[in-house]
Amino acid sequence: MVISNKQNQKDLIELNDLNQSFELIDLNINENELSKDKYDILVFYSDYNLTINQSILYGYLNCLKINRFEGTVGTLKIPGGAFELPLLTSKIIRKYSPKLCLVVGCIIKGETQHYEFLSSTVTNAIRNVSFENNTPILNGILTVENEQQAIDRAGKKMDKGSEFASASLEIMNFNNKFDV
C-alpha cells in the first residue's frame, strides 16, 4: 500500500534518532551478520503494505530505545505478504534461535471473504510456529477493515509497535526471571 494522502503519512511513525542501548542490524543490508545465537529479538515484516509495517517497526524500535533495552535486534523484510510470514519466519528461527520474535504485517479487508480466510490462517500458523520452535512470537499482524484503521493502529494514534515492544520486554523479563 502506498499512502498518498500527506496527512495520513504524517500520522505514521518515523524512526527516531537511534543512539540506542541495543545493537540494531538490518539483515536485508547486512546478510553476513546472520549468526546463530546472536539475536535477542528478530523482527520480521512483510513487503506488502510496507508503509504500514514500517510504521509498526519504527514504533517498536523507538520504544525499545526509550526503555533502554540492551541486546541485539535484527530486522528482516520478508518478500510477499502476511501469508508468507509464518513459513519464512520459521525457517529463520530454526537457523538462528532468537529469544523472541515479532511478526509484522497488515491484512486489509476487501470485497471478498479472502480477508477472513487469510487472517485466520496466518494467526494459526504464527501460533504453530511459536509452539514448534519453542520461541515466543508476538503476532503483529494487523487485521483491519480499511486503510484508515491500518494507519490509526500502526501510526501515532494507537502506536501498536510500542505496545508490541512493551510486551516483548515483559516476556523477556519473565523468561529471564524464571530461566525459561
φ/ψ region of 84 (left if φ > 0, alpha if ψ in -120 to 50, else beta) reads alpha
Q: Is 108 a catalytic residue?
A: no
Cell numbers at 134, concatenated: 519453542
- Of 75, 104, 105, give the one whose Cα is nearest residue 92: 75
Structural contact between residues 82 and 122, judged by C-beta atoms closer than 8 angstroms? yes
Distance separating alpha carbons of residues 84 and 11, to the nearest angstrom: 27
Say which of 68, 114, 127, 157 is annotated catalytic.
114
User: DSSP of 49-117, one letter per residue?
Assistant: THHHHHHHHHHHHHHHHHTT--SEEEEEEESS-GGGHHHHHHHHHHHH--SEEEEEEEEE--SSTHHHH
Beta-ladder partners of 108: 144
34 three-class SS: coil
Residues catalogued as catalytic? 114
